[in-house]
Structure 1
Amino acid sequence: MSHNIPSPLRENLQTRKNHPAIIENGQEYLWSDVANSVEACKGWLLANDVKAGDRIALIPSGHFAEIIFLLACCDSGVVFCGLNGRYPGARLETMADDILARTLTSDQINEATRFADAEKLSAEWNLNQPCSVIFTSGSTGQPKAILHTLGNHIYNALGSNQNIAMGAEDKWQLTLPMYHVSGIGIVFRTLLSGTAMVITDEPLSVDQIIRTKTTHLSLVSTQFKRLLSEPNCGEISHQLKALLLGGGPISQMDIDRGIESGLPVFVSYGLSEMASQVATTLPNQPADLQFGKVLPHREVKINDSGEILVKGATLFAGYIF
């Protein structure tokens, strides 16, 4: 059985060439712009002796160049390793060394997207190729380095997109960091749907959501609480089509407040080892934390001792540290 799929980048270039792919602080980048930048980045990787299977560590801040770099890694077989810039420099160096990654600066990432000697997009992507390394939060112990394949992210996005529909004119805002599976998940969901991704340096707020014409959001509990605290929160109810909550427990009180404000709340259960979402509430389903649908490409079982057992096409390749 073949583990290759047609490149989603090539497909968007062929079918949505002149449609917005990324909107950063009001500047639109079409899918043709994204393809050109990815090809430039691939050329830079080749010129700098970065080969398929190599691991590249960087501190992503969620800007255009870093998304391009992630896509170029996918297209060339290089492993994207996002590090949390809140850690001290010495710890970041140790983390990169632990996973045998070469570290690039933001200046190098920006340079790569403008490299003159471009390398053409691949026709196919191999679902089994290593794609990314992310570190767990370490909230229950020492942080672990998790390796995901390209297929893990692809199937995660496919399952999510079947539950949360996106149209041609929709916009999903990048509100979560790309050193976490939730941030990477937004990139893949928009890539597979051909939907535009919104990036902004403005803090998340009702006014910002309205101004950027965002239709889809992914938020953790703290972000959701801040949004609910704004007196005009209900004003986005007619614009937003999906507000996906996750990354940890969400209080039922906050969920109820969101629903009362008319927000299209989706509550998810997930984990880094499953590349993000495992189960998510259905459209128009009351967002009770006890209920949700296991998304396609995942399986869940609760054993006799109450442990939640998960498997499927999104299950990570393993811990590398």
Structure 2
Amino acid sequence: MENWLVKRAKLDPNRIALVLEHADFTFNELNSIVQLFASKLFTSGIRKNDPVALFSDNCFNGYVAILALQQLGARTILLDTGLPLKTLAYQLNDCNPQTVLISDSSDTKDILKTNGSHTMISDILSLDPSTQYHPISEFNANQVVSIFYTPNADKKDTGVMLTYGNYFYSAMGTTLNLGINKNDAWVLTLPTFNVPGFSIIMRSIIYGIGVYLIDNFDTDQINKVLINEHATIISLTPPLLRELINALPKGQQYNDKFRCMFLGTGLVDNWTLLRCNMLNIPVLQSYGMTETTANISALNFDDAENKIGSCGQPFFTTQIRITNINQDNIGQIEVKSPTVAVGYLNKRQLFHKRFTKDGFFKTGDLGYLDEDNFLYLKGRQDDLIYRGDNIIYPEEIENVYHNVNGIIDICLVGEHKSNGEQIPVAYLTLRDNSFLTSADLQEFGQHNLLSYQVPTEFRLLNQFPKTTGGKIMRNRLFNLKYKVI
């Protein structure tokens, strides 16, 4: 395939490619800036297939750096700017990059403490462009373009390697489902160091559509863009959707061209869906993971009302099946798709263990397909709670409790008793002056859940440990101080 950015600049030179708070850039302008930066990266010594780590927030220079590294044919390792020093050091030791590019707008106190070569993007900008530089002419579908680290069961993060082919087929599946057209513009507020955010950059170049780049999930700024600008799609996680809707000024509605909230993996509670429906905000739930280059199934506009709660049908490029079905008719989600990663960095054997003999990838997620082949997600297999002969699906219980006025967040985990059984305990954060008691919450559970699903204890936290996508990190809850209410 011809170099995507160069090709797009030829096809749509005057179409808006990127919108910042105080500036916008056409594809021709963006390409010129990217090529100049790539030339300076070449001066610094970066060449094709070199591993280069990028430590950046959602800033303009970070966006340009991502595209510039692709012009050189380098492998980009995306580093989460919110990770602790110990985790960053492990990832850098594992991927062994030639250098770490650091955006000047990022909080660098931890990354600068790690061993290895570091280069500030401002230092690259001060270099002279190389007269020897030429962008690569073609993108090889099998070439690794990005590496993302994801938590693994062995407590050591795993680098997921994704290719140009992965991103191309991911973009094709998404556009066939959503019907992307040249009038669309995607709001990018998810971190670019995660696959869902990075994929929006790739889709923009492939589709020829604009991107609104927003950092730090500023709900006021996002709502202003969705109200006043021509943004049509925004990708969010369920927790971030709740935050955004809660911050929407009363009486305001999004612009007439706005099409949907494209919701990533995770269950969304019915109360949030009801609020979005009342506000005339379409929500399209989807399913995917890092290893599948983000979304591989999603609701479309025609099915959104009839299949509430579903993650939609598998994309045209994807096969999904359910295996090892349990007593609740819930089973393990397995996937076959050209969007599945080509490997784990330095962990070839672990990657091969994730596949069945006939080539399906074992996701580790649980769900079911209905009679119309629509996927319903029930959560991670590792999160299940086994109480006697019954299975508890935590996200299902959490979504019920999100209907309780006064609860901000809630997370259900299984605590092992001395006899080996598990009991469900709930960690939660409450709004000021909520005055909820354990008795109140247990009574609510008895009226809205089966008896074995009701948490045995409710533990109040000041704050949940969360990922940059707003997802609660369950494995860290047992180490936190809490108050039983």
Aligned to 1:79, which of 75, 78, 95?
A: 75
Give the distance between the partners of 1:126 and 1:134, measured in 2 at CA.
19
Query: How do 1:275-286 residues align onto structure 2 when only pairs under 5 Å count?
Result: 275-285=293-303, 286=305
Q: 189-198 or 98-107: which moved more?
A: 98-107
1:143-154 residue pairs with structure 2 within 5 A?
A: 143-154=157-168
Which residue identity is paired with 2:236? L
- Larger mean CA deviation between 165-174 and 139-148 belongs to 139-148
- Within the candidate set 206, 218, 221, 1:203 is matched to 218
2:57/2:191 contact within 8 Å kept: yes
One-letter code of the match for 1:240? F
Assess, with a 3 A threshold, how the Cα gap between structure 1 residues 140 and 91 changes in structure 2: closer, same or farther.
closer
Higher relative contact order (CA 8 A, sep 6+): 1
Pick one of 20, 26, 33 that aligns with 2:22. Answer: 26
Query: Which amino acid letter does the alignment assign opposite residue 242 of structure 2?
Result: K
Aligned pairs (5 A) from 1:56-135: 56-101=52-97, 102-107=99-104, 108-112=120-124, 116-117=128-129, 119-135=133-149
TM-score by length of 2: 0.61
Q: In the TM superposition, what whole-angstrom CA distance separates every residue of 1:98-148 from its partner, at most 9, and x where no partner exists?
A: 111231222533454675425343332111101111111459954321111
Within a 5 Å distance, the mapping from 1:141-290 to structure 2 comes to 141-201=155-215, 203-205=218-220, 206-229=223-246, 230-232=248-250, 235-236=253-254, 238-285=256-303, 286=305, 287-290=307-310
Aligned residue in 2 for 1:308: 333
Structure 2 counterpart SS, 1:13: helix
Distance 1:293 1:234 in 2: 32
Change (3 A) 1:165 1:121: farther
Aligned-pair RMSD on alpha carbons?
2.3
Q: CA deviation at 1:237?
A: 6.2
C-alpha contact 2:146 2:163 (8 A) present in aligned 1: yes
Aligned residues: 317
Judge conservation of contact 1:41–1:114 (CA < 8 Å) in 2.
no
Structure 1 residues 253, 220: closer, same or farther in 2, change over 3 A? same
Percent of aligned pairs sharing the same letter:
22
- Does the 8 Å contact 1:176/1:219 carry over to 2? yes
**CA separation in 2, counterparts of 1:156 and 1:141?**
29
**Bigger Cα displacement from structure 2, 252-261 vs 12-21:** 252-261
What is the one-letter code of the residue matched to 2:20? E
Per-residue deviation, 1:31 = 0.9
Under a length normalisation based on structure 1, what TM-score does the superposition of the two structures give?
A: 0.90
- CA apart distance, 1:170: 2.7
Of the three residues 302, 313, 333, the one matched with 1:293 is: 313
Q: State how far apart, in whole Å, the 2-side matches of 1:282 and 1:16 are.
A: 27
- Specify every segment of 5 or more residues in structure 1 that has no aligned partner in the other structure, as ranges: none
Residue 150 of structure 2: aligned partner:
136
Q: Retained in 2: the 8 A contact 1:214–1:239?
A: yes
Q: Per the alignment, in what secondary structure is the counterpart of residue 124 of structure 1? A: coil
Q: Unaligned stretches of 5+ in structure 2?
A: 105-119, 326-330, 347-485
1:47 maps to which of 20, 43, 48: 43
Aligned AA (2:310): Q
Change (3 A) 1:109 1:297: farther
